[in-house]
Structure 1
């Protein structure tokens, strides 16, 4: 790796990865419009509920924008892939199967007609990913799209903080950073900041971007993450990076150096800034509030104690807003259990297990490390965040992991060039 020149530019720049042996060369590469489709999927998953913005945005308008983005993404993906060339994989197959319990439970209309609408949204989301799977080849193209789009979202958060600090750090959220231009909650901002920070660090270690370009992404993202006081995102970032870099330690000297320095810095911070770190981590909560996870445990206990029919136990009550009794569930597994039943839990668990198993079987590489980071981050965040059972950023992260773990397309042998026609003089033809 030391002999390979380092490409310059931001992590959102062109992919300079060498085509793996046996992979078919792509004359034109991945179309630029694919990045637009990925950005529209990200816009769709930003959600419509959150903090109060500087300019009040009606929730109906936000829903029209986000749903319109999904429809536009599907239409663009279909236009790019009119021949419906897809790359079947376990992730997309299991995600499509997740529609079965969703539709069965939503058809009873216990959660209202909105449940069927959410089923249609999940179907469009999965269909768009199927259409994009044609370009899933284990490269880093989609990683760059991911970083670029979420960095743009964080840019809007930073702009809101500069324009109106009071709206961006409201007392309603305990002074935690929210989206003042687009309604984003602290956990959302923390998630986006943690994910693109981790991916950019891995790109630096893999020499796919320079340090100056990476710092433009990493430094502001870490500042925004600190302002959100989001413990789940912070732990997900630290643990996810530890596992991802650990997968590179045996093959990358840069990973070994980074890992060593990270351990030393963590030890110094734990000793010298223990009090400040504890204050940040507790966020001013008392022991009881911290123990029951800011009230989440009470909602979880009530959900598990609620009576259910056999059908509801197997397939749930239908896709909803991830709440129970008017309070957010904030746990992916319990949210899936409530809305898609034990069948949904089995399918979501299968997605995590299959992706994790494939990642462990792949030889060490930068795409594999990025996939390990994304899978571990989603698994950790699933304990205090909902979203694994419906169209959400977490499913997009897992889709990106599936893209990174996809085997390169088999090389298609080029046809042999035709033999040149021998020129026969006219006098020879007449003589014949």
Structure 2
């Protein structure tokens, strides 16, 4: 199988994983889509991704790494807590989904070599998703900016919520900016992605995604400042533009940030704290504290948890929290130990974005876009694979005594 053909299949597998993690709950679409139909499509995408990954990696060549290993270990508390069926048979179904998701990443790990291949796959796939959002907004602005969401942008063709759209826009914007700074793409091609993505991000009024984009870029570009003149120039211009924006458009930025909410409602994280307090105050057995209640829909009392750490604690217990924390710490530590480079900067951006978003968004404990972001970071931090076309190093010759040579 040719290299180009294999690369296309790997890209298709990544696209199917992206489709699987889009979810099935969101705003009303222009053409009503039954939730059961969406679930069949997303789960079918995951099954197809696994089959394609297996077909292109029949010899099961994998690269052992801490990320996929810890993700696989996360199945242990998930299965233990889901086996008692407190969360219904859906919990076991979600465990099977997580196992298939992790298995597909294991098969793809063969191509994790520290290069930017999966960064480009990531940008292309999520840009296609954002293209569907933009198309829905053009076809039916009323459906794309409904009053139910306070006029925030939603998916009118596929049920996507404002936080989802904001997340996708922020991630591909940050990665594309870094590719420009690393001279891995030209400015015209980057503008085609960055400008529409920023417009969609602004229309979603998503504060978490905006904060994650800004902080992630500061950390990522900061890792390049000592070795890249382009990074230093960009950082200086960004600071200047930010100062001008704060002085000239401070009131408009504050209004956008508050989204018409009161100061008290904003400080309570739009009511999230009430759900968090109730979740932490709920009585739990020792087993439930250690392994959780089973994989569910990331809600408590019918309300979304909107915090990855509390969602993991609720569904996979303290064991799950420890494993998710280990994933972030291991990836972050690996990024800090690498010498300055563009792949390292992209990994720092993705890790920091996921860490920031974990405070107000759930998803680190189950198959989700956040785990795909971290998978891309893991691929960037992997050691380059040995080139099979190069001759193997000559074996070191051991000095042989003269008497031994005579008896050979």
Q: Write the distance in 2 (CA, Å) between the matches of 1:414 and 1:228.
A: 50
Correspondence 1:421-432 to 2 at 5 A: none
Task: Give the TM-score of the pair, scaled to structure 1.
Answer: 0.89
Q: Is the 8 A contact 2:20 2:46 kept in 1?
A: yes
C-alpha RMSD of matched pairs (Å): 1.2
Correspondence 1:325-404 to 2 at 5 A: 325-404=301-380
Q: SS in structure 2 opposite 1:57?
A: coil
Q: 1:236 aligned to 2:212? A: yes
Larger helix proportion, structure 1 or 2? 2
Partner of 1:52: 28
Partner of 1:266: 242
Unaligned runs of 5+ in 1: 1-25, 417-432
Q: Is the 8 A contact 1:30 1:135 kept in 2?
A: no
Partner of 2:50: 74
Q: Write the distance in 1 (CA, Å) between the matches of 2:114 and 2:168.
A: 22
Q: Is the 8 A contact 1:244 1:369 kept in 2?
A: yes
Partner of 2:282: 306
User: Structure 1 167/28 Cα, relative in aligned 2: closer, same or farther at 3 Å?
Assistant: closer
Q: Write the distance in 2 (CA, Å) between the matches of 1:75 and 1:412.
A: 26
Q: Say which of 133, 137, 141 aligns to 2:109.
A: 133
Q: Is the 8 A contact 1:190 1:230 kept in 2?
A: yes
Partner of 2:133: 157
Q: 1:204 aligned to 2:172? A: no
Correspondence 1:113-262 to 2 at 5 A: 113-262=89-238
Q: Write the distance in 1 (CA, Å) between the matches of 2:253 and 2:32.
A: 35
Q: Write the distance in 2 (CA, Å) between the matches of 1:367 and 1:30.
A: 22
CA deviation vs aligned residue, 1:106-161 (integer Å, no higher than 9, x gap): 00101000000000000000000000000000001111010000000000000000
Q: Write the distance in 2 (CA, Å) between the matches of 1:414 and 1:238.
A: 42
CA deviation vs aligned residue, 1:159-209 (integer Å, no higher than 9, x gap): 000000000000000000000000000000000000000000000000000
Q: SS in structure 2 opposite 1:261?
A: helix
| Cα deviation, residue 33, structure 1 | 0.5
Runs of 4+ in structure 1 off by over 4 angstroms are 26-30, 413-416
Q: Write the distance in 2 (CA, Å) between the matches of 1:97 and 1:58.
A: 34
| Cα deviation, residue 409, structure 1 | 1.0
| Cα deviation, residue 412, structure 1 | 3.8
Q: Write the distance in 1 (CA, Å) between the matches of 2:76 and 2:242.
A: 46
Q: Write the distance in 2 (CA, Å) between the matches of 1:202 and 1:244.
A: 8
| Cα deviation, residue 411, structure 1 | 3.6
Unaligned runs of 5+ in 2: 393-408
Q: 1:100 aligned to 2:76? A: yes
Q: SS in structure 2 opposite 1:117?
A: helix
| Cα deviation, residue 32, structure 1 | 1.1
CA deviation vs aligned residue, 1:66-105 (integer Å, no higher than 9, x gap): 0000000000000000000000000010000000000000
| Number of equivalenced pairs | 391
Q: Write the distance in 1 (CA, Å) between the matches of 2:145 and 2:271.
A: 22
Q: Write the distance in 1 (CA, Å) between the matches of 2:330 and 2:247.
A: 39
| Cα deviation, residue 410, structure 1 | 2.4
Bigger Rg over Cα: 1
User: Structure 1 385/27 Cα, relative in aligned 2: closer, same or farther at 3 Å?
Assistant: closer
Partner of 1:284: 260
Task: Give the TM-score of the pair, scaled to structure 2.
Answer: 0.94
Q: SS in structure 1 opposite 2:165?
A: helix
| Cα deviation, residue 28, structure 1 | 5.6
Q: Is the 8 A contact 1:51 1:183 kept in 2?
A: yes
Q: Write the distance in 1 (CA, Å) between the matches of 2:46 and 2:386.
A: 31
Q: 1:43 aligned to 2:19? A: yes
Partner of 1:425: none
Partner of 1:426: none
